[in-house]
Amino acid sequence: MHRPPDIQTGAPTEPLLVAKNLEVRYQGSILVLKNVSLSVGKGEIVALLGSNGAGKSTTLKAISSLIQSEEGRVTEGTITFAGERIENDDPVRTVRRGVVQVMEGRRALEHMTVEQNLRVASAVTRMSKAESRAKMDQVFDLFPMLAEYRNRQSGYLSGGQQQMMVIGRALMTRPGLLLLDEPSLGLSPLLVSTIFEAVARINHDYGTAILVVEQNARVALRHAHRGYVLENGKIVLEGSRDDLLGNEDLQEFYLGIGASGAKKNFRDVKQYRRRRRWVG
């Protein structure tokens, strides 16, 4: 596995996260990931792309250890974060190490206020009250709307406001690596831009590395430095942002354009284009 390039200089950066030859099974027998390898360097944003059912969310949950709550387990391969093995670790210990996942679907604690949601997260890392206040100020600076609604019960927030809150809640744990699962899901284009601008700022201002799962490939790659494409539980393509944005097969897959106009999986599109080039 190559070392990810430094964002500013193009030189290799030190890997923060390295997943190598991962195999993941549910209930001991249902194979979901096979031989998946990926890395995230310090200060990088990396996009993980793929269609529904490709294994993207499973990959994030394997890294965060949350897969155990769904009777899943890494059965082969290794995951290291900051040089330490973390596969199949206790999820709370994984958070305290600095790996934090924002789940798909905006898992707000709806009976609690915005501020209470944020404070719950800081309690996991046992930070002091002064640290908690400072982190909350950072969250409110990043999402001013949350400051306005800090005493509102979170169940009454809009979908976009809840997405801001759960990202802010993750930031309260001081993550070194933030795992985002479909942050744009169900949001308007304007809110999608707002969320991804915040993601870019989290990366730039705080140096937080980010691995983001997204079906909106164009938005994800505009903000990422590198990306991977996952198909049927396997990595089928990886490259820099520019390489992936310029890849005709990837464009065709995500635009849903093929010989019949029907959407195919990435492998089918790739094989189709190769046959067309050879015949032509």
Per-residue model confidence as pLDDT tens digits over 114-138 = 999 999 888 888 888 898 899 999 9
Q: Which backbone phi and psi does 265 adopt, to 5 degrees? A: -80, 165
pLDDT of residue 249: 79
pLDDT of residue 264: 55
> CA 280 to CA 277: how far, in whole Å?
5
pLDDT of residue 13: 65
By CB atoms closer than 10 A (0-12, 13-18, 19+), residue 71 is: exposed
pLDDT of residue 267: 59
> CA 280 to CA 260: how far, in whole Å?
18
Range in 36-45, 102-111, 231-240 with the lowest mean pLDDT: 102-111
The terminus-to-terminus CA distance of the chain in angstroms comes to 35
> CA 118 to CA 225: how far, in whole Å?
29
Taking CA atoms, 35 is separated from 21, 109, 213, 230, 263, in Å, by 4, 36, 18, 11, 26
Q: At 246, is the pLDDT very low, low, confident or very high (cuts 50, 70, 90)?
A: confident
Task: Say which amino acid occupies 94.
Answer: T
For 158-192, write each residue's pLDDT tens digit.
Answer: 989 999 999 999 999 999 999 999 998 888 999 99
DSSP helix/strand/coil, 113: strand
Residue with tokens 């944020």: 118
Token pair in block for residue 59: 């990959």
Q: Answer whether residue 9 shows pLDDT above 70.
A: no
For 222-232, write each residue's pLDDT tens digit.
Answer: 999 999 999 99
Q: Give the predicted TM-score (pTM) of the model.
A: 0.85
Q: Answer whether residue 256 shows pLDDT above 50.
A: no
Token pair in block for residue 183: 């942050």
Does 277 or 243 have the greater pLDDT score?
A: 243
What is the arithmetic mean of pLDDT over 33-60? 94
Token pair in block for residue 239: 């490259």
Closest Cα partner for 105 from 185, 191, 167? Answer: 185
- In this structure, the chain runs to a length of 280
What is the arithmetic mean of pLDDT over 67-77? 94
Does 107 or 40 have the greater pLDDT score?
A: 40
Strand 226-231 with 234-240, pairing:
antiparallel
Structural domains of the chain ordered from first start: 15-109+170-239 (3.40.50.300), 247-280 (no CATH)
